[in-house]
Copies of this chain bind each other. A is one copy, B any other.
């Protein structure tokens, strides 16, 4: 029997590389960027595979996903616990915001209106101190 500690099925070289790359930093990065980075370091992996791997990891909750206003998805290794993100819209620097309170609030609201199976999308976008300083002066 195979070890299924992760949501992925088979233990392939490509998937290992993707997850390894995600482990390296906390930055949110797009699928395309991750693909680029792997190619740059000589790992021959297809863009399709990167997308698929990230999709699986996202479904099983092993990575966090946020969606930029532009529509592209950014991925990052997941830290434990329910939380939201405060993301710099220029450099993507991210701060994690523990947000159990928002969940409760959402659940309460939903119940009041008879809605079930609630999902919420809460992300905060802003300009971080560094980026503000650069463009400001």
Please give the residue numbers on chain A whose beta carbons come within 8 Å of chain B beta carbons, in ascending order.
67, 69, 71, 86, 88-89, 95, 97, 102, 105-106, 109-110, 113-129, 132
Contact = CB atoms under 8 A, between A and B. Distances in A.
A124 B102 contact: no
B122 A122 contact: yes
Contacts of A119: 89, 124-126
A121 B122 contact: yes
A113 B86 contact: yes
Given A71-B71, A86-B110, A118 B129 contact: no
A115 B102 contact: no
Given A86-B109, A110-B86, A121 B125 contact: yes
A71 B89 CA distance: 19
A126 B120 CA distance: 8
Contacts of A129: 114-116
A113 to B, nearest CB: 5
B120 A122 contact: yes
